[in-house]
Amino acid sequence: MSLKALMIVSGIFGANGDYTTKMPSMEECLKQKQVVETQQLDINVTCVPRFDEKIDSDKFFAMMEMFLSVVTRMKEAHRDYCFEYPFDADCIEERDVEGIR
């Protein structure tokens, strides 16, 4: 799997600030980094991994649904545990003592 990269070029005394460009892979970015750095001494070049801007909404919602189902199962398991062991320290702390009186 190829990791896409973003090249950020900054000059210390640059009038225009930072310059960024998308690179097809991290290896290509690192090769081009060496080329850019040899052109000028007061320049900084950084390669950072990047992801596509588009997020597949179906995958995102499927992931969130899975996460919520895990949380629900954890809550149900805790409720069942407290039903079986009502005097456990974890279960007593959650109860409203004033509501029981």
Residue 7 pLDDT more than 80? no
The total number of structural domains that make up the chain: 2
Domain that holds residue 35: 5-49
- Specify whether 61 is located in the same domain as 78: yes
- Specify whether 96 is located in the same domain as 63: yes
Element (H, E) at 51: none
- Specify whether 20 is located in the same domain as 43: yes
- Specify whether 40 is located in the same domain as 13: yes
DSSP state string for 8-47: EEEETT-SS-EEEEEES-HHHHHHHHHHHHHH-TTEEEEE
pLDDT of residue 75: 92
Q: How many CA atoms lie within 13 A of 68 on its CB side?
A: 6
- Specify whether 95 is located in the same domain as 74: yes
What confidence tens digit (pLDDT) does each residue in 41-67 have? 778 888 888 776 666 778 888 889 999
- Evaluate if pTM is beyond 0.95: no
